[in-house]
Amino acid sequence: MTLAFGYVRASTLEEVKQGSNERQKAEILKYAKAKGYDIEFFEDKAKSGKNTQRPEFERMLNALGNQPKVVIVAKIDRFARSLSDLLRMLEYLDQKGVGFISVNDPGIDTTTPNGRLLLQILGAFAEFERNMINSRTRAGREQALNRGVKFGRPPLKTRNGSFIDGRKVIELKKRGLSARAIAKSLGCSITPVLRILRENRLPIG
């Protein structure tokens, strides 16, 4: 028989107690039997779908060398909780020559032409969304700059509120002063002096 991997997951122990994983297994087994697949299960218990660092999920990925034809899940949200994660993982499976089927999500079957087309459409939407977010971020930043908003770290100040001249710190250091001596000379604490020295890769002694 053709090998297939079945992946099931419950987010909480309560879901496990209520039989979520067993129901997923039953649905996957029914599908696999109808298609003639020999199923091997990987089961995560009380693991959030937001986290891809799931023991059985990772074990399944590491076992792809056993050459399963497909990975089968009962519902797509058992496999991934975001479109970006889903597309990334499906691309990885595709590179390994492994298909993906979600039993209860019509059309999610990358072993068929229609399923692969749907995957491409989802990928296009995800890229469009990323571009829109980046565009809005750039526009917001430009508007903020036009209003005089400054980005980055705030300027370093001395104890009396005047700004610390980084060039002066570097100059004093090159004259051989220690960080503590520079701080005393500028009337500030040693912390901002140390920061300037580190940022300019100068010795702090």
The phi-psi region of residue 75 (left if phi > 0; otherwise alpha if psi is between -120 and 50; otherwise beta) is beta
Residue with token string 């218990």: 45
- Select which of 11, 82, 135, 178 is catalytic: 11
Q: How far is CA 169 from CA 174, 178, 180, 181, 204, in A?
A: 9, 10, 11, 10, 11
Residue 9: CB atoms within 10 A of its CB come to 26
Closest CA to 2 of 30, 34, 31, 39: 39
Instruction: Note if 178 is an active site residue.
Output: no
- Residues marked active site are found at 11
